[in-house]
Structures are given as structure tokens and as C-alpha cells.
Amino acid sequence: MPKKKISLQAKHLRQSEKRRVRNMSVTSAVRTEVTKARAAIASKQSEAAAAVKAASRALDKAVTKGVVHRSAAARKKSRLARQLNAATK
């Protein structure tokens, strides 16, 4: 009986490690896109709108994968859009 528990724990560890690596990758990609968008907005580049769109898309993908909560993603997207609108006025 203890053997079974040990193997289940080992499986759980393998699964959680796999999830952790995937989540780190997705989170890093989102962070990179958001940083690029903020930099484009701050430097008033013409492709700022495209950068915000790419960041928004990355956030939506992260929500789909369950890495970011949908409210947190919506909040970040909203803040980026407000920054973009303020910069273009």
C-alpha cells in the first residue's frame, strides 16, 4: 500500500514541475509583450497600437491556458489601452 502512495506522489511532482515550466514560459512571454507595449507608448512610437494589440493577444492566450486570471488580464489590457489613448491625444 505505501508503494502506491509514493508512486502517486512522484507522479504529482512530475505533473506540477511540467505545469510550472509551462506557466513560467507563458508568464515570461506575456511580461515581455507588456513591457514592449509600455516602451512603445512611452517613446510615442507609431507602432505603439500594434504593440498594445500584441500584448492584449498574449494576455488572452495566457487566460486560455489558465496561467493568468481573466480579471487580471482584463485589468492589464484596460490599463494599456488607457495609456495608449492618453499618449495619442
pLDDT digit string (tens) for the chain, length 89 residues: 566 778 888 999 999 999 999 999 999 999 999 999 999 999 988 899 999 999 999 999 999 999 999 999 999 999 999 999 999 88
| pLDDT number for residue 61 | 97
CATH of the domain at 35: 1.20.58.110
pTM of the model: 0.85
Report pLDDT for 89.
80
pLDDT of residue 88: 86
User: Which residue range is the domain that position 80 belongs to?
Assistant: 2-88
Rg (CA), the chain: 18
52, 37 contact by CB (below 8 A)? yes
Q: Domain total for the chain?
A: 1
